[in-house]
Amino acid sequence: MNSKISRFSVDEIRSQFPVLSQSIRGKDLVYLDNAATAQVPQVVIDAISEFHGTYRSNIHRGVHTLSQRSTTAYEAARATVQNYINAEHVEEVVFVRGTTDALNLIAHGIGAGLKEGDEVIITALEHHSNIVPWQIVCERVGAVLKVAPINSAGELDMEAYKALFSANTKFVSVIWVSNALGTVNPAVEMIKIAHNFGVPVALDAAQAAPHLRIDVQALECDFLALSGHKLYGPTGIGVLYGKRDLFETLPPYQGGGDMIEHVSFEGSTWAELPSRFEAGTPNIAGAIGLAAAVDFVSSIDWAAATAHEDELLRYANEKMGSVPSLRLIGTAADKVSVVSFVMEGAHPHDIGAILDQHGVAIRTGHHCAEPLMNELGISGTARASFAIYNTKSEIDTLYNALLSVVDLLGLEEVG
C-alpha cells in the first residue's frame, strides 16, 4: 500500500479492519482499548497468512528456496522499520518480543557495567516494564534508582528532572508517552539534558509509535523501544533501536542459535549486530506483519490522522466532562488521545463491565503503572484510548454508556 489514503476518510480506514464490523452483546463494537492493543488491518493479516501459507520456513543459513524467501522477507522487514524510524544503519534495528523485552535487554546490558553507587534515572510516569528491570539491576549491583516527579496534571517536573543528575548518573530510561494518562514528555529536551551530562538515554516509545512520528536521528536517543501491537501490527513482536557503537558495548542478552559466530565447549564468540541480540528462531511472521503495519501507517496522511485524533480527544473531554461524578485524571497540556477517569462511588472494573454490556471496550485498573496511581492518590482508572479508526459517534456511545453507569449505580446521589 503505497498511495496515501484519500482525504483521511475514517470510513475507508475502518473498512480495512475486519474486527471492527462485529457486534458485542447485540451492540456494534466500540473498541476504545487501543493503548493496550490496537487492531490490525487486513493487509497485516494477509501478510502473515501469506508467510504461513506459501513460504513458512526458518531464516538464515538455509539453502532451500523457502528458507531464502523467508530470510529475504524477514530482513526486508528490518529495512522497512529502519526507514520508518530513520535509523542510520539497518543493523541498529533488533527484533524483540515487544517493548518489555527491549527494556529488559537494555537493563541487562547496561546493568553489566553498573557498580555500587551508580545512578539510573526514570520518571513517575513509567510503565512497570521500565521500572522493574531497573529495580532488579540496581538491587543486584547496589546502584540507585532515581525518579523524576510529576505535577497534579500528570506532567513531568523538568526542573526536578534536571536536578537529579549528578556525577554518578550513568543512564536514563524514560517513557515518551504515558500509557496511563496520555502525557507526552518533552523527549528531545530530556535527551539533550542527559547528553549535556554525558549520559545515554533509552526511550520507551510503545505509546508514542501510533501517535507521533519517530525519527531517532532527530531525537538523538541512544536506544528506543516499541511494540508492534500498539502500531496496528501483530503481538509478540517489537523493535529495539540502538546506536551501533553503544550496541557493540553490550553483552549478549540470551544465548543460543544465530547469535553466535563460533561455539566450542571451551567458549563461544558472538555474531555481528543485529544477530547478537536475536537468539533462537525469531517471530518471523510477526516481523513480516509488523512491516506490513508500518507500510499501512506510512500510507496514511499523518497530519490529517493527528488532527483527527486530536479532535477525538477534544470531543471526548467535552462530552465526559458533563457526566455526573466523573473526574478526568491526567490533564497535561500536551497529550495524545487517551482519556483516563474515575467515577466517585464506582470501581473502575464495574465501569468497564457495564460499558461492555453496551459493546464498549475500555481498559480498567492501574494500567501497569501502579506507582503512578499511588502518586495520584488513586488505585486505578477507567481508560478510553482512541485510534485513527475511532469516530465521534463512538464517543457518543461511550458517553451514553457512562450515563447508564450513573443510573445503575446511583452515582448522581453520591457526594
> Has residue 40 been placed in a domain?
no
Query: Based on the domain organization, do 201 and 89 belong to the same domain?
Result: yes
Q: What domain range includes position 402?
A: 6-31+301-413
The pLDDT value given to residue 307: 96
The pLDDT value given to residue 391: 98
> Has residue 405 been placed in a domain?
yes
> Has residue 36 been placed in a domain?
no
Give the chain's residues under pLDDT 50. 1-3, 413-415
User: Helix or strand or coil: residue 34?
Assistant: coil
Q: Which are the catalytic amino acids?
A: 368
Taking phi over 0 as left and psi of -120 to 50 as alpha, with beta for the rest, 250 belongs to beta
Domain end (from 259, 276, 298)? 298
Query: Based on the domain organization, do 95 and 242 belong to the same domain?
Result: yes
The pLDDT value given to residue 27: 96
Query: Based on the domain organization, do 231 and 369 belong to the same domain?
Result: no
Query: Based on the domain organization, do 145 and 50 belong to the same domain?
Result: yes
Query: Based on the domain organization, do 201 and 99 belong to the same domain?
Result: yes
Query: Based on the domain organization, do 170 and 129 belong to the same domain?
Result: yes
The pLDDT value given to residue 1: 39
What CATH number did the domain enclosing 249 receive?
3.40.640.10
Query: Based on the domain organization, do 272 and 340 belong to the same domain?
Result: no
How many other C-beta atoms are found inside a 10 Å radius of the C-beta of residue 321? 11
> Has residue 320 been placed in a domain?
yes
CA torsion, ordered 344, 350, 355, 357, to nearest 10 deg: -140
- Kindly state the cell numbers that stand for 185: 514528555
> Has residue 294 been placed in a domain?
yes
> Has residue 38 been placed in a domain?
no
Strand partners, 241: 93, 224
Yes or no: say if 173 and 145 are a contact pair by the CB < 8 Å rule.
no
Domain end (from 298, 322, 344)? 298
CA angle 30, 31, 32 (to 5 degrees): 110
Query: Based on the domain organization, do 278 and 133 belong to the same domain?
Result: yes
What CATH number did the domain enclosing 352 receive?
3.90.1150.10
The pLDDT value given to residue 412: 74
How many structural domains comprise the chain? 2
> Has residue 84 been placed in a domain?
yes
Query: Based on the domain organization, do 237 and 176 belong to the same domain?
Result: yes
The pLDDT value given to residue 259: 87
With CA atoms as reference, report the closest residue to 173 among 115, 123, 113, 98: 123
Domain end (from 244, 263, 298)? 298
Using CA atoms, how far residue 268 sits from 20, 105, 115, 264, 273, in Å, is 50, 20, 26, 6, 16
Q: How far apart are CA 123 and CA 251, in angstroms?
A: 26
The pLDDT value given to residue 230: 98
Query: Based on the domain organization, do 272 and 156 belong to the same domain?
Result: yes
The pLDDT value given to residue 343: 97
> Has residue 1 been placed in a domain?
no
Query: Based on the domain organization, do 111 and 17 belong to the same domain?
Result: no
- Kindly state the cell numbers that stand for 122: 526514570
Query: Based on the domain organization, do 111 and 10 belong to the same domain?
Result: no
